[in-house]
Amino acid sequence: LSDPVVVLAGGTGGAKLARGMLDVVDSPEQLVVIANTGDDVEIHGGYVSPDPDLVTFWLADQIDDRGWGLAGDTFAVMDGLRALGEEVWFNLGDRDLAVCLQRAARLDGGARLTDAQAAVANAFGVRARVLPMSDAPVRTRVVAHGRSWSLQEFLIAGRGAGPVDDVSFAGAAGATPTREVLDAIAAARAIVIGPSNPVISIGPILALRGMRQALRDSRAPVVAVSPIVRGRVLKGPTAVFMEWTGRALDADGIAGYYDGVIDGLVADDPASRVPTLQTDVLMADADSRRRVAEACLGFAAGLG
């Protein structure tokens, strides 16, 4: 497909922007979301892929109001595990677990992660493409409170509480973006980094071998949407991770983190080092999601 819009996404912020973008592009196939897989975890017999699934559930309008998982899902298996005396730190709904069990079975059968994830999108009727950033395993590790955590452990069991002492993306240096990812970036008319946590949601994508070069080589302008809304981060522990980078929690801090990657920033406060589209980046409903997505495309077109 020619000239897709590419969104780089981690958790909720990127997923919301992708949902807005779905309303803006001419056809769903014009939207390609490259999703972070650094949070993936094998648990409860399943292959859990939090960010690609979150994006898929958002695009399918099946995200639950709680902010993760499938709308109206039940939790019988997790209740069963607890009744068996297990400490369930990672909660998965029953239909969500079915998704993860099926994906694990496909991967065990030799499928690429890209194809296993495409099957999820297909099952949910999502015609936009949701691409795992890589088929090779990359695992985000966080050092905090004197121990090393997987990202989901840190966010859930550790409640995302700082200070963070180190962040690393195990496997990233040897993992390449997939052919699908590289093709989408090369063909894109615009590349938008969603307002997800820069360090732990977008960081793993940028850490892939060859990813920064691929973004530089693309003819498309790259713009990032700041996750900071009126000076605050709405969801997740972006602040503690930005603090670890030594950058301020403002547009300049975000622009600094993305230095060498972005051509422009969309934020509600101005950045000094990069062209900024200053606009309200709150995406509280479908209208505002669509408005921010449109603003990104217009801004990117002006930078191209």
Residues that bind a copy of itself (CB under 8 A): 44-46, 73-74, 76-81, 83-86, 94-102, 104-105, 119-120, 123
CB 195 within 8 A of CB 227: yes
Identify which of residues 80 and 302 has a Cβ nearer to a copy of itself in the complex.
80
Identify which of residues 28 and 45 has a Cβ nearer to a copy of itself in the complex.
45
Identify which of residues 125 and 210 has a Cβ nearer to a copy of itself in the complex.
125
Smallest gap from Cβ 156 to a copy of itself, in A, equals 17
Cα end-to-end span (Å), the chain: 20
CB 143 within 8 A of CB 134: no
Smallest gap from Cβ 146 to a copy of itself, in A, equals 24
How many residues make up the chain in this entry?
304
Smallest gap from Cβ 128 to a copy of itself, in A, equals 18
Smallest gap from Cβ 96 to a copy of itself, in A, equals 8
For the beta carbon of residue 9, count every other beta carbon within 10 angstroms: 32
Smallest gap from Cβ 39 to a copy of itself, in A, equals 19
CB 180 within 8 A of CB 115: no
Identify which of residues 122 and 278 has a Cβ nearer to a copy of itself in the complex.
122
Whole-Å CA distances, 297 to 60, 173, 175, 301: 22, 31, 30, 6
Identify which of residues 107 and 136 has a Cβ nearer to a copy of itself in the complex.
107
Q: CB-side exposure of 39: number of CA atoms within 13 Å?
A: 25
Q: Where are the beta strands (DSSP E) in 10-90?
A: 31-35, 41-43, 46-48
